[in-house]
Amino acid sequence: MAPTAITPDFSTYPDLKIVPPSAPDQDSDSLPSEFEEPNPIAPLRAALVSEATPLAVRFRALFSLKHHASKHPPTLYTLPAIHAIAAALPSPSALLKHELAYCLGQTGNLAAVPFLRTVLEDRLEDAMCRHEAAEALGALGDWESLGLLRGLRDEAGEAEVVRETCEIAVGRIEWDHSAKKKSERLRTSDFTSIDPAPPLAQGTSQHTIEELQRQLLDTSFPLFGRYRAMFALRDLSSPPDLSTAVPAVKALASGFSDPSALFRHEIAFVFGQLSHPASIPSLVATLSNSKEESMVRHEAAEALGSLGDEEGVEDILRGFLNDPEQVVRESVVVALDMAEFEKNGEREYAVLPEEL
């Protein structure tokens, strides 16, 4: 079906629908007639950067921009979309800002690097945002950022989440450029995200859940290797009716007792990707634990948002709308919007072009 262009109208929220036109490749000599359609970036950017826009709408605008920013090969909208995402970085919302950094890292486009380095290098910036910027530089495989990442990894006074993220990002970039990578056989994943670490390579036989859980929980092992076990377990948890899914989810949930807050928040992030009902008890326990780090509780709230069509989940989330932690409160707002989307069976949590 050909894509149709609809002028964005954010006043219709929550039934937000934008169908951007398709864009030609940058190196096209002439612009096809459909390019005369309205530019989809400007209204998305306007919605994203405005503090007056409801947070959930900003998130939906962000994921639409991410779609344009991640196009390969790039289109005429790719760079403007990257710049639009970066333009919202001065926002006072740590939740939004860290999501902007995450999305920039998912673009696969090195044009995002300078924006991410600025966030990471700013010691006054929120640690969760700096963590996400470091992880994004790793996701982009940016060799030129290795010096910065190694420096922060080794800096004693640096926030632990930043140091640990830099350690993983260094591991990822080194792996990305290694000869070893080419010889590794990786199981095809159901997930299109660029992860902080690839899943563990397959040997002659598939790793058992017990082996993966052992590596996941072994704190004497480098974090990069432990993350590789985490993503291997994630891939064994999907699709949800796979025979390994429930045991793999339970193995992942055991990671919530790890001493590293970064590690625990990544478990919650993975559960958000999986949307497996078996993860609900551990996510609710994490969100309910007021002694848990807000970064971990925020991720648990958003993961529950992706399970919003499961009975009772929305009510649980609503109970945290007035949480003392701003990042948790805001995550609940976004999570409830995601839950709404899950219930309505919308195809993507964003405003995307129709399938061609």
Q: 48, 16, 56: which is closest to 333 by C-alpha?
A: 56
* Segment 205 to 264, residues that bind Fe ion, using CB under 5 A: none
Indicate the residue among 122 and 354 with the shorter CB distance to Fe ion.
Answer: 122
SS3 25: strand
Work out how close the CB of 95 gets to Fe ion at its nearest, in angstroms, rounded to a whole number. 8
Work out how close the CB of 268 gets to Fe ion at its nearest, in angstroms, rounded to a whole number. 8
Indicate the residue among 18 and 262 with the shorter CB distance to Fe ion.
Answer: 262
Residue 207, marked binder: no
# chain residues binding Fe ion, by CB under 5 A: 1
Burial of 250 (0-12, 13-18, 19+ CB in 10 A): middle
Work out how close the CB of 265 gets to Fe ion at its nearest, in angstroms, rounded to a whole number. 6
Residue 298, marked binder: yes
DSSP 188: P
* Segment 268 to 327, residues that bind Fe ion, using CB under 5 A: 299
Work out how close the CB of 215 gets to Fe ion at its nearest, in angstroms, rounded to a whole number. 21
Query: Are 237 and 251 within 8 A, CB to CB?
Result: no
Indicate the residue among 125 and 299 with the shorter CB distance to Fe ion.
Answer: 299
Indicate the residue among 126 and 342 with the shorter CB distance to Fe ion.
Answer: 126
SS (HEC) of 100-154: HHHHHHHCCCHHHHHHHHHHHHCCCCCHHHHHHHHHHHHHCCCHHHHHHHHHHHC
Spatial distance between the Cα atoms of 296 and 283, rounded to a whole number of angstroms: 10
Residue 131, marked binder: yes
Residue corresponding to tokens 């405005």: 50
Residue 299, marked binder: yes
Indicate the residue among 142 and 299 with the shorter CB distance to Fe ion.
Answer: 299
Work out how close the CB of 141 gets to Fe ion at its nearest, in angstroms, rounded to a whole number. 18
Residue corresponding to tokens 């958003």: 302
Indicate the residue among 77 and 164 with the shorter CB distance to Fe ion.
Answer: 164
Work out how close the CB of 228 gets to Fe ion at its nearest, in angstroms, rounded to a whole number. 17
Indicate the residue among 169 and 209 with the shorter CB distance to Fe ion.
Answer: 169
Spatial distance between the Cα atoms of 356 and 343, rounded to a whole number of angstroms: 25
Residue 67, marked binder: no
Please spell the DSSP secondary structure of 30-58, one letter per residue. S--GGGGSPPSHHHHHHHHH-TTS-HHHH
Work out how close the CB of 293 gets to Fe ion at its nearest, in angstroms, rounded to a whole number. 12
What are the C-alpha distances in Å from 183 to residues 54, 174, 175? 47, 15, 11
**Amino acid of residue 92:** P
Work out how close the CB of 352 gets to Fe ion at its nearest, in angstroms, rounded to a whole number. 22
Sequence-distant (6+) residues with CB within 8 A of 44 are: 8, 18, 61, 64, 65, 81, 84, 351
Q: How far is CA 266 from the centre of its chain?
A: 10
Spatial distance between the Cα atoms of 284 and 268, rounded to a whole number of angstroms: 11
Indicate the residue among 213 and 294 with the shorter CB distance to Fe ion.
Answer: 294
Residue 266, marked binder: yes
Query: Are 153 and 162 within 8 A, CB to CB?
Result: no
Q: Which residues are annotated as a binding site for Fe cation?
A: 98-99, 131-132, 265-266, 298-299
What does the binding site for Fe ion look like in residue numbers (CB under 5 A)?
299
Q: Which residues are annotated as a binding site?
A: 98-99, 131-132, 265-266, 298-299
